[in-house]
Amino acid sequence: MASSGRTYRGVDVASRRAHRRAALLDAALEEFTTTGYRASRIADICTRARVSTRTFYEEFEGKQDVLLVLHDRVNDLALSHVRHALGTVLETDAVTRIGTLLDAFVAAVTADPRLPRLAYVEAVGVSPALEAQHQRWVTRWAEFIAAEAARAAEHGLAPRRDYRLTGIALVGAVTGLLRAWQAGNPPEPVAVIADEIKSLMSAAITRQA
Amino acid sequence: MASSGRTYRGVDVASRRAHRRAALLDAALEEFTTTGYRASRIADICTRARVSTRTFYEEFEGKQDVLLVLHDRVNDLALSHVRHALGTVLETDAVTRIGTLLDAFVAAVTADPRLPRLAYVEAVGVSPALEAQHQRWVTRWAEFIAAEAARAAEHGLAPRRDYRLTGIALVGAVTGLLRAWQAGNPPEPVAVIADEIKSLMSAAITRQA
DNA sequence: ACATTTCGAAAATCTCGATTACCAATGTAG
DNA sequence: CTACATTGGTAATCGAGATTTTCGAAATGT
């Protein structure tokens, strides 16, 4: 019955697996954002990860599966940063909160230029599954923004109305800006992007129209 | 020496060619937006166009070539509509002009739901060539918006500043909204989208920040 | 009629990369 | 030391499509 697995070099089965999986994800991120998702080959990802193709199929269903995981990761990463940042300004005015939210988001996603490239370019139009995942995230972010807007409205800083569409538009604005940013050679300073977004968002929310 | 070509059914060589090319483009638009660009096969496009694969290669280099052409078409179509619409409000105030511009754009691109699907989903991340073409169009649209903003500034309706980044952000907002729109089932009324964009854009341009 | 131009259909080629199967090296356990 | 688990490496297997060619039917011109 056996073995729940043998220990090698002091690490158990689970850790070795986790390590290989992480190596594959790292390698895939690199391949996808340099070679491009469509053109990148599984064999190359494996070579870069110093892992065999067999191992690849032990961890993932296929290329798309990896992309799905990476796409979620980028968004999860950003979300956790944003949540943490917002937690530090609980009692502040709405405008400050929105600024904090965006600074955290932009900082998280631009820390590695490969992230926006993956999420806003490579992961688009790949498959219905990915489009669905994209939509879920857009909705989530839009609701996040709408919630902050509602909070601003509570304080009389913005009109009371449904901010969901505005949220989607703003997510699109951020996406467009970051897509352009990652394509830039050399990239613009991130602060410029962040300022534009912050200013745009607060104008969008406080407008009376 | 020969013939510059024989006339069939009353149409000359050039017309027949043009017809086949048009049929191929139509078929490709349909395939790309239903099956998805990556998954659609050249053979299927040809079948739908009632043309042989041989003819396909007489007209195009390959699948990507067709996508490049279609992507340009969507943008050209929108541009011509916008230009025409703006021509009818030459002497009007900036706010009206911006509203006109956006109504024309949105109307042109949503007239056929396949257009936003093609331009904002299927044509993303396909190849460096397409990304380059996308960037050119974003820049062009952003400059268009910036020009209108400058005009508004002339009339004292907006602050004098560089509106290019704002333009890119707004193009992103429009893109995001239309991408969500075409994914909707059933789609939202277009007017809602158009209103949101118009309002957002005028807030973005007239803000004092 | 008969030769010729066109072009769809279909078959032959070709190219690749995904998926699988197998082999051998490395490190363990006992 | 011996049997075994674990994996990277390699190469065989496969299938899907993209391109290219060939074949022949339809439409014209002479």
Q: Which of B121, B165, B199 sits opposite A209 (nearest CB)?
A: B199
Instruction: Examine the domain organization and report whether B136 and B51 are in the same domain.
Output: no
Instruction: Examine the domain organization and report whether B88 and B128 are in the same domain.
Output: yes
Contact between B159 and A71 under an 8 Å Cβ cutoff? The reply is no
Domain residues for the domain of B78 are 64-206
Instruction: Examine the domain organization and report whether A85 and A69 are in the same domain.
Output: yes
Instruction: Examine the domain organization and report whether A41 and A84 are in the same domain.
Output: no
Note the pLDDT of residue A59.
93
Instruction: Examine the domain organization and report whether A159 and A113 are in the same domain.
Output: yes
Once rounded to an integer, what is the mean pLDDT over residues B30-58?
97
For residue A140, which residues of chain B lie inside 8 Å, CB to CB?
none
Largest CA distance in chain A: 70
pLDDT band of A5, cuts 50, 70, 90: low
Whether A57 sits with its Cβ under 7 A from any strand C atom: the answer reads yes
CATH number, domain of A161, equals 1.10.357.10
pTM of the predicted structure, to 2 decimals:
0.93
Chain-wide mean pLDDT for chain A? Answer: 93
Taking Cα atoms as reference points, which of A49, A182, A186, A38 lies closest to residue A119?
A182
**C21 C1' to A122 CA distance, Å:** 33
Does the pLDDT at position B133 exceed 90? yes
CA of A58 vs chain B CAs: smallest distance (Å): 25
Instruction: Examine the domain organization and report whether B2 and B41 are in the same domain.
Output: yes
Does the pLDDT at position B2 exceed 60? no
CB contact under 8 A, A173 and B177: no
Tell me which long-range contacts A76-83 makes (C-beta under 8 A, separation of at least 24): A77/A108, A77/A109, A77/A115, A78/A104, A78/A105, A78/A108, A78/A109, A79/A140, A81/A105, A81/A107, A81/A108, A82/A108, A82/A144
Show the DSSP H helices in chain B as ranges.
13-34, 42-49, 53-59, 63-87, 94-110, 114-117, 128-154, 164-183, 190-206
B175 close to A (CB below 8 A)? yes
**D16 C1' to A4 CA distance, Å:** 40
Residue with the two structure tokens 């220990």 = A7
For residue A204, which residues of chain B lie inside 8 Å, CB to CB?
200, 203-204
**Of A60, A80, A95, which residue sits at a domain end?**
A60
Instruction: Examine the domain organization and report whether A137 and A173 are in the same domain.
Output: yes
Q: What residue type is assigned to position A100 of the chain?
A: T
**Of B12, B27, B60, which residue sits at a domain end?**
B60
Instruction: Examine the domain organization and report whether A137 and A157 are in the same domain.
Output: yes
Backbone angles phi, psi at B11, to 5 degrees: -115, 140
CB contact under 8 A, A125 and B121: yes
CA of A207 vs chain B CAs: smallest distance (Å): 6
Note the pLDDT of residue B113.
97
Q: What whole-number distance in Å separates Cα of residue B70 and Cα of residue A205?
A: 36
**C11 C1' to A166 CA distance, Å:** 56
A120, A200, A201, A206: best to mutate for the B interface, most B CBs within 10 A: A200
**C8 C1' to B11 CA distance, Å:** 18
At a 7 A CB cut-off, the residues bordering strand D are: A 3, 5-6, 8, 13, 16-17, 20, 47, 50-55; B 6-10, 39, 41-43, 52-54, 57, 62-63
Instruction: Examine the domain organization and report whether B44 and B72 are in the same domain.
Output: no
Note the pLDDT of residue B3.
45
**Of B45, B60, B75, which residue sits at a domain end?**
B60
For residue B182, which residues of chain A lie inside 8 Å, CB to CB?
none
Beta bridge partners of A8: A11
pLDDT, tens digit (0-9, with 9 covering 90-100), for A59-96: 999 999 999 999 999 999 999 999 999 999 998 988 89
Q: Which residues contact A115 (CB under 8 A, 6 or more apart)?
A: A74, A77, A109
Query: Which of A1-5, A45-49, B69-73, B163-167 comes out lowest in average pLDDT?
Result: A1-5
Q: Which residue is nearest to nucleotide D9 (CA to C1')?
A: A52
Q: Which of B170, B193, B209 sits opposite A199 (nearest CB)?
A: B209
Q: Which of A121, A172, A200 sits opposite B175 (nearest CB)?
A: A172
CATH number, domain of B43, equals 1.10.10.60
Write out which nucleotides of chain D lie closer than 7 A to a protein Cβ. Answer: 5-11, 17-22, 27-29
Note the pLDDT of residue B4.
58
Handedness of CA A132, B124, A82, A113 (dihedral sign): positive
Q: Which residue has the higher pLDDT, B121 or B95?
A: B121
Instruction: Examine the domain organization and report whether B24 and B80 are in the same domain.
Output: no
Domains held by chain A: number: 2
Q: Which residue is nearest to nucleotide D5 (CA to C1')?
A: A6
Instruction: Examine the domain organization and report whether A54 and A3 are in the same domain.
Output: yes
Instruction: Examine the domain organization and report whether A84 and A156 are in the same domain.
Output: yes
